[in-house]
Amino acid sequence: MRKPSNILRALRRHGFGILQIVADRMVCAFASRGIKLNRQITIARAAGRIYRFKTAASAWDKVRLNRLRSKDLELMSAALLKTLRYQDTINLVEFATKVGRTSIHLELARTEALWRLKDSAGVEASRERAIALIDNPSRAEISLIKNDNQVINIASRLELLWMTAPNIDEIRRLAENVRVEKSPNPKAFVYWDSGITNAPKLVKTCVSQMRKVYGSELQELSEDVLDDYLDPAPQFKRVAKLWPANYSDAIRVGLLARHGGVWLDATLYVSENSIGKYLNSNLFVFEYNGPRIASWFMSAKAGSYQARLLYATMLDYWSRNRKLKNYFLFHDFFEVLYHLDPQFREEFDSATHLDARPSLAGHNLLWKPFDQDALDAALAKRPIQKLTYKPGKKPHGRGTLFAVLNQQP
């Protein structure tokens, strides 16, 4: 039985859409227990909506394709992609095209499947077909679809682009009004909503290491003091309670837009003071693929156009929406703005570019026996290492790096 507080939280997060989620979970639970349901399509739709992709793919296999609507075919293509059935995805889209039920979501699913199969000619042809499905495609739409750096989940970011483009002038006006306070001594910001003293032990270890490296330049923030550094934004109150990770994404770029300096996630283990190191870029972020970025470390000049526009985009989104589109909303917005705003794109292209992956070496060591030499080698290669305080199902018993760092300093 779920606690009443959890039920209320779910209602606030999803509205009455939670009833659909509950119903879908019940359908999947019945199916997993071997309870017969009248229609496989009911299982397929329910599992697809709540991302139970293996269950969905298995159920879709038992459904006659000629009875499916375009929306069903889109759900099916997502399940096939997630279960690595790339040729089946291509075959499905070809069927949809023949019977006149194609859509841009289906075509972009084919694009991803062809990319996974390393069919570069097929990818280009599929991209052109996707663009042809848009009436008068904009430069931003074409650029996003043809982006070689990120072929996965293009449709999701395309939807976000369609949401953002009509409001871009208002977003730019919001960005111009972001208050800027340039300081000769910028800070490194680290945040924990209830204060570092109430944080998990590994977080305390990481912040203790930050204090050694940054000294008085480290500014430790909590929700109680945040208004002293960032103008209150009423539209973020609900986000802070329901989606704290996305709230943190918004405030970090807001802090950097106003004050400049460095943002450090509370789970970063650092060995070097990075204030000023990357300031040949107005905004510096580590990257995975082009404008697909990591947000756990950021560096900016006060008043950075990119930082102000990102923050304004988050303000605008939460002024108009009550639901989180997806967990990586901030990262998707970065990519959307890259394709939508010429100045944002120019500043990113001219910035320092560093791969994010070397900063994940420490994370990979967490579940192994503690080895100081291996940790030192990771820090020597990249003095900013992204860790986690959530072990999940990983083995983290006595003697692992996680166990060593998970001791209160």
How many residues does this entry show for the chain?
A: 409
Q: What is the pLDDT of residues 364-398, one digit of tens each?
A: 999 899 999 999 999 999 999 999 998 877 666 77
Which sequence spans correspond to the domains of the chain? 4-152, 172-358
| Bridge partners, residue 285, by sequence | 298
Reported as type and span, the H/E element at residue 284 is strand 283-289
Q: What pLDDT was estimated at residue 40?
A: 86
Q: What pLDDT was estimated at residue 9?
A: 58
Running DSSP on this structure, what letter comes out for residue 355?
Answer: B
Q: What is the pLDDT of residues 120-129, one digit of tens each?
A: 999 999 999 9
**CATH fold match for the domains 4-152 and 172-358:** no
Q: What pLDDT was estimated at residue 212?
A: 97
Running DSSP on this structure, what letter comes out for residue 356?
Answer: S
Architecture, CATH, for domain 4-152:
Alpha Horseshoe (1.25)
Instruction: Pick out the chain residues at pLDDT < 70.
Output: 1-18, 35-38, 394-396, 408-409
Structure tokens at 41: 């399509």
Structure tokens at 129: 């077909």
| Bridge partners, residue 355, by sequence | 287
Alpha-carbon distance of 309 to 261, in angstroms, equals 17
Structure tokens at 25: 């979970």
Alpha-carbon distance of 329 to 246, in angstroms, equals 7
Architecture, CATH, for domain 172-358:
Alpha-Beta Complex (3.90)
Residue 275, classed as helix, strand or coil, is: coil
β-pairing verdict for 188-191 and 261-264: parallel
Alpha-carbon distance of 388 to 233, in angstroms, equals 28
